Structure 1
Amino acid sequence: MHTVRRFSSFLLISGLLASSCAAHAQERDKAVLAWRGEQPVRAKHGMVVSVHHLASDAGLNILREGGNAVDSAVATAFALAVVHPIAGNLGGGGFLLLRTHDGKSTFIEFREKAPLAATETMYQDAKGNIIPDASTLGYRSIATPGSVAGLAYAERTYGKLGLKRVIAPAIKLASDGFALTAEEANELTESDLARFPESRSLFQRDGKFYRAGEVFKQPQLARTLERIAADPDDFYHGKMAQELVADLSKGGSLITRDDLAQYSVVERKPIIGEYRDYTIISAPPPSSGGIVLVSALNILERFDLAQMKDRSAPWIHFITEAFRRAYMDRAEYLGDPDFNRIPTAELISKDYAAAWSKSIEPDRASPSAALKRPAGFLPLAPSTAGTRQKESPDTTHLSVVDAEGNAVALTTTLNDSFGSHVTAGSLGFLLNDEMDDFTSKLGTPNMYGLIQGPANAIAPGKRPLSAMTPTIVLEDGKLRYVLGSPGGGRIITTVANIFLSATAGKLNIQEAVDAPRFHHQYLPDKLYLEPGVDSRVQDELRDMGHTLDLGDGHWSNGECIAIDPKTGELLAGHDHRSSYGSAAGY
């Protein structure tokens, strides 16, 4: 059978390997800015889309060998742990959303957990001030990783081929190596990696940086993957657990063998909402993604976006106002459901959204400081305030649909780029800095500028609040979209941007993925715009009272699939913001 594959137009041909990263960035920007008219990859039987073409190929091969969507997703995720160290991971965590062809949905949660020795004020000094970088860099920023447990659980419970088969492509990639593009070689020069000897040795050859075209081999990681394939439980209860703790204890990590032994995967019910003719299936707490996404869409039901031009000032204004209100609720109510009572039903109720929508003016921005939550719907929430810090690339997402119609949206994360920057030397993989996703201090933003309340305070064994939003959408009860993205606090708005453009905006999935994004998260009171939004639209938004921030360039990386409702054909949108990803189908 014929394989259909599409790389970014500027991707991975030998003549580009020696190009500068600046040239890659310019080419990427051209591709993203020229989003209108872009066409999706098409396939009849199965489709995989991810941020790295080698990982997509691994997942596609599994589909062609008879594996289902879970087999393919697990194979792709393990391959990403090898070829995409900036975010693909063994030392992090994530969420897998599955909808089977018979209409059943489940959410597999393998989010990292705070160490048992963690305390609420561990990142504050004696005066109560935040210690710079303490929650984002180094050994004490590491939470107990869940990826190995989660992927092994998904394969054991819902896969067909078994862990040894689906992890084999990752082992081969780590052992044989793969040629680095200029962009990938440049990523490995990250200065904070050099602060940790094991990371400097593995990724930077002790200062002899890799160049474009060189083959990057990871024999220690290959051996670790072989051991996981033989017995994934060894990572948490056996010799691997002992080695991991020994490596991390050298730098003062709080992770102990008890932390690893007590780690557990949780299967939860997804958040389910309705938006016009669509059913939204998305991530429940400890992700804020599903609640915020459904809440924002509920607010927007009062406004006829289909009569507005996509990326016009009214389009951006109304969606922004919905984001503003949904993120206000996120800041004050959401956290780990095992530690808090989350008012989920109230937050995603249609009546509450209708009350919120009445406060939106058609031609005037609502100052965040003046927002007043509709009374009578939710319990009293504390007030928080703060300012924004930098946005950072981090997480990675993949989408899969198989020949039977099973669908997986899988998002994993190390949190920041390269996570904590700490490598478990004997095992060959990076660890997360997920502790920054907790509330280090009430009213103080995390690295994504997100304000978070007491529901997300640090506690032993607790899972931090996430913005990851793996999402599956149905139309008239049939599979229609598989969506997701990285992007820190901007993940939710990225998924909403793509969904609304593909539905109300009538864009194909490739155009929807590539279209310039916009983001508002309640505080700080700024509307962030990617390059590509028309200057006249910007002026109209300013006239409405929006404070625009144009300084962040491009963000996030949507890897999405649409299903043609008439023919059943699979249509994939690979984000042109990535220079080495692909959609691959057959």
Structure 2
Amino acid sequence: MAYKKFLTGFYTLVLCFISLGVLAQGGRIPTPAENGMVVSSHYLASEIGRDILKQGGNAMDATVATAFGLAVTLPSAGNIGGGGFMVYHPANADATAFNFREKAPLAATREMYLGEDGKIKDNANHEGVLSVGVPGTVAGLYKAHQKYGKLEWAKLVEPAIKIAQSGFAVSHGLADFSQWVFDNKEEYSSTAKVFLKKDGTPLKRGDILVQNDLAETLKRIRDKGPEGFYKGKTAQLIADFMKAHDGLITKKDLEVYEAEEVEPIKGNYRGLEVIGMPPPSSGGVAIVEMLNILEGFNLKEEGHNSASSIHLITEAMRRAFADRAQFLGDPNFNPDMPLDKLTSKEYAEELRKTIELKKASVSDSTRFNAAHLAYESPETTHFSVIDKDGNAISITYTLEHSYGSKIVVEGAGFLLNNEMGDFNAIPGLTNSQGRIGTLPNQIEPEKRMLSSMSPIILTKDNKPYLIIGSPGGRTIINTVLLVILNVVDYDLDIAKAIESPRYHHQWFPDVTFFEEWGFSPDTMELYKSMGHETDSRDSQGRAMGIMIDAENNLYYGAADSRSYDGGAAGY
């Protein structure tokens, strides 16, 4: 108790020095604020959102402004050419969610990527204009804002326009992309016009990137809302570009796209309500299922990141990912998904009984109907927002691969996604290398592809307690799970919960991947002695989170230090 009082006093003192608003890079010390907080993968976007809060905007206003800011400053994942998911918990009402995942074009077919040999031709589901799904970001942000926003739409888009016009400093990652564009400028000529210097040479770290075509596109969105994107000049530019390059998306595809407000997935973990996205996001279902399984174990007693706790947690991961592959897809095309069963305590109890305390299970494809997991790119972005009234938003959106398809729409200045690669491209073919061919996620016109994006809000007494999410492809689900466990079971503050080392098991391949820097040799040997195969990776996810201290009326934000440009901005 004395230590808690010390921390509260310390953070209150810090607030005296940051009363005009702060920007904190990622690290082990959370950023405190009293009135509002935005945590995103680019500090400029976080500042935009914070400034909107300071100007009287609510969490939805700040979310819209931050998202458009990321579309300018984080072209690898922030976007108007992609899509995603939002979970919203109003301060004095029930939670809701928005699905603005991309859709397959009207002309898409189940075997559209296959050659005469039945194999994918030219990696076309991941590269080129055929990989592009109908974008949903603008429609989703507008739909959510129209119902829950406070400030005028135009005011929220304007800060992004100003940064696009004035420019911002190029980071290491963006400089690397510019070099790639230079090396491939003949094939990606429209991209070269945006991401190379005027003399045709690559951008270097510290150079200023100005995006005038993107600014003009954003102005049309500012002035006309979604009609400024899905109709008029921008829609014509997209349709003309697609036609010129043998793509599928037409003006009709853009006109008929709609975002959806949907009921979130809900669960309960150790007295806290868990609120997440329903399908076609698989994150809400999988996280609730895993938490239900783990609720039957005393993880705190097992010890944080001990071999025994990692064993139990990865066994839960194994089972949830098997169910994810077999059952989940777009609910508009799969109305009979057993969501109530998958998220029930009773089903979790059945699964828990199959876990041996000191021995790894075997990922048996026959037991789970041979439904394996397809590749998902780790390049997504997440941000978390809360305002002075306690309205909370968790939002994750993406282009799929880093910089999506790497294709800029000629004259419009923005990158297109390559989300069609998230569909099961070879119907009926499933193998242990990760190819998946099961029916729920096969290609159909206007169908939304399955995703691992996992924006989550935990509440205590119907008030937001933890707002969390991450990029990372399939690892998103487990990254978010581990942050939740770090907070709830292991009593870590939000910064330490995010900075802690991570691991990932996805059923197939039957391997647990560890961040190699984070675990002792003794722990690894004990874990492997239970029958687990392991491998290492440099990094997993870039979580962005906010934790709410209701007792002291403080918000604590943390931007993952794995995200070089991330920042928590509060006031």
Task: Using structure 1 for the length normalisation, give the TM-score.
Answer: 0.90
Q: How does 1:91-102 map to 2 (within 5 A)?
A: 91-102=81-92
Q: Which one of 505, 514, 526 corresponds to residue 540 of structure 1? A: 526
Letter in 2 for 1:227: R
Q: Which one of 467, 471, 487 corresponds to residue 482 of structure 1? A: 467
Alpha carbons of structure 1 residues 564 and 445: separation in structure 2 relative to 1, 3 Å: farther
Alpha carbons of structure 1 residues 417 and 183: separation in structure 2 relative to 1, 3 Å: closer
Determine helix, strand or coil for the equivalent of 1:354.
helix
Letter in 2 for 1:475: K
Q: How does 1:63-142 map to 2 (within 5 A)?
A: 63-142=53-132
**1:452 Cα offset (Å):** 5.8
Q: Which residue of 2 aligns with 1:493?
A: 478
Q: Which residue of 2 aligns with 1:314?
A: 308
**1:181 Cα offset (Å):** 2.8
Letter in 1 for 2:97: F
The whole-number CA distance in structure 1 between the counterparts of 2:284 and 2:90 is 19
Bigger Cα displacement from structure 2, 140-149 vs 200-209: 200-209
The whole-number CA distance in structure 2 between the counterparts of 1:286 and 1:338 is 9
**1:564 Cα offset (Å):** 1.3
Deviations 1:170-217 (A, max 9, x none): 000000001123343224323586331111221123751111211100
Q: Which one of 162, 170, 179 corresponds to residue 169 of structure 2? A: 179
Letter in 2 for 1:539: E
Could you tell me whether the CA contact under 8 Å between 1:385 and 1:443 is conserved in 2?
Answer: no
Determine helix, strand or coil for the equivalent of 1:351.
helix
Q: Which one of 296, 303, 315 corresponds to residue 302 of structure 1? A: 296
The whole-number CA distance in structure 1 between the counterparts of 2:362 and 2:60 is 44
The whole-number CA distance in structure 2 between the counterparts of 1:185 and 1:528 is 29
The whole-number CA distance in structure 2 between the counterparts of 1:426 and 1:453 is 39
The whole-number CA distance in structure 1 between the counterparts of 2:117 and 2:434 is 22
**1:104 Cα offset (Å):** 1.7
Deviations 1:297-331 (A, max 9, x none): 11111111121221111111101000100000000
How many residues were matched structurally?
Answer: 546
Bigger Cα displacement from structure 2, 534-543 vs 569-578: 534-543
Q: Which one of 503, 509, 518 corresponds to residue 494 of structure 2? A: 509
Letter in 2 for 1:198: S
Q: Which one of 271, 274, 277 corresponds to residue 277 of structure 1? A: 271
Q: Which residue of 2 aligns with 1:469?
A: 454
Determine helix, strand or coil for the equivalent of 1:280.
strand
Q: Which residue of 1 aligns with 2:329?
A: 335
Q: Which residue of 1 aligns with 2:14?
A: none
1:581 and 2:566 matched = yes
The whole-number CA distance in structure 2 between the counterparts of 1:64 and 1:569 is 16
Q: Which residue of 1 aligns with 2:320?
A: 326
Could you tell me whether the CA contact under 8 Å between 2:287 and 2:481 is conserved in 1?
Answer: yes
Letter in 2 for 1:522: W
Determine helix, strand or coil for the equivalent of 2:364.
helix
Q: Which residue of 1 aligns with 2:371?
A: 384
**1:277 Cα offset (Å):** 1.2
Alpha carbons of structure 1 residues 280 and 396: separation in structure 2 relative to 1, 3 Å: same
Q: How does 1:33-432 map to 2 (within 5 A)?
A: 38-190=28-180, 194=185, 195-205=187-197, 207-232=200-225, 233-340=227-334, 341-369=336-364, 372=367, 382-385=369-372, 392-432=377-417
Letter in 2 for 1:523: F
Determine helix, strand or coil for the equivalent of 1:570.
strand
Could you tell me whether the CA contact under 8 Å between 2:503 and 2:540 is conserved in 1?
Answer: no
**1:505 Cα offset (Å):** 1.4
The whole-number CA distance in structure 1 between the counterparts of 2:337 and 2:243 is 35
Determine helix, strand or coil for the equivalent of 1:6.
coil
Determine helix, strand or coil for the equivalent of 2:474.
helix
Alpha carbons of structure 1 residues 64 and 585: separation in structure 2 relative to 1, 3 Å: same
Determine helix, strand or coil for the equivalent of 2:322.
helix
Deviations 1:62-85 (A, max 9, x none): 000000000001100000000000
Letter in 2 for 1:223: E
Could you tell me whether the CA contact under 8 Å between 1:451 and 1:523 is conserved in 2?
Answer: no
The whole-number CA distance in structure 1 between the counterparts of 2:148 and 2:268 is 27
Q: Which one of 20, 30, 34 corresponds to residue 2 of structure 1? A: 20
Could you tell me whether the CA contact under 8 Å between 2:378 and 2:475 is conserved in 1?
Answer: no
Could you tell me whether the CA contact under 8 Å between 1:384 and 1:443 is conserved in 2?
Answer: no
The alignment's C-alpha RMSD in Å is 1.8
Deviations 1:467-503 (A, max 9, x none): 1111100123321000101111111111001000111
The whole-number CA distance in structure 1 between the counterparts of 2:399 and 2:535 is 27
Task: Using structure 2 for the length normalisation, give the TM-score.
Answer: 0.92
The whole-number CA distance in structure 2 between the counterparts of 1:502 and 1:556 is 17
Alpha carbons of structure 1 residues 445 and 469: separation in structure 2 relative to 1, 3 Å: farther
Q: Which residue of 2 aligns with 1:14?
A: none
The whole-number CA distance in structure 1 between the counterparts of 2:545 and 2:435 is 25
The whole-number CA distance in structure 1 between the counterparts of 2:271 and 2:99 is 28
Could you tell me whether the CA contact under 8 Å between 1:384 and 1:442 is conserved in 2?
Answer: no
Letter in 2 for 1:216: L
Deviations 1:245-304 (A, max 9, x none): 102221111001111111011110000001111110001011111001101111111111
Letter in 2 for 1:209: P
Could you tell me whether the CA contact under 8 Å between 2:372 and 2:435 is conserved in 1?
Answer: no
Could you tell me whether the CA contact under 8 Å between 1:167 and 1:229 is conserved in 2?
Answer: yes
Could you tell me whether the CA contact under 8 Å between 2:217 and 2:229 is conserved in 1?
Answer: no
Letter in 2 for 1:568: N
**1:516 Cα offset (Å):** 1.0
Q: Which residue of 2 aligns with 1:32?
A: none
The whole-number CA distance in structure 2 between the counterparts of 1:83 and 1:271 is 31
The whole-number CA distance in structure 2 between the counterparts of 1:182 and 1:319 is 35
Alpha carbons of structure 1 residues 361 and 434: separation in structure 2 relative to 1, 3 Å: same
Determine helix, strand or coil for the equivalent of 1:409.
strand
Letter in 2 for 1:357: R
Determine helix, strand or coil for the equivalent of 1:113.
coil
The whole-number CA distance in structure 1 between the counterparts of 2:539 and 2:310 is 17
Determine helix, strand or coil for the equivalent of 1:168.
helix
Could you tell me whether the CA contact under 8 Å between 1:450 and 1:521 is conserved in 2?
Answer: no
**1:449 Cα offset (Å):** 4.5
Could you tell me whether the CA contact under 8 Å between 1:450 and 1:489 is conserved in 2?
Answer: no
**1:366 Cα offset (Å):** 0.3
Q: Which residue of 1 aligns with 2:11?
A: none
**1:385 Cα offset (Å):** 4.5
Alpha carbons of structure 1 residues 63 and 123: separation in structure 2 relative to 1, 3 Å: same
Is there any run of 5+ residues in structure 1 with no aligned partner, and where?
10-37, 374-381
Q: Which residue of 1 aligns with 2:15?
A: none
The whole-number CA distance in structure 2 between the counterparts of 1:303 and 1:412 is 33
Letter in 2 for 1:473: L
Determine helix, strand or coil for the equivalent of 1:424.
coil
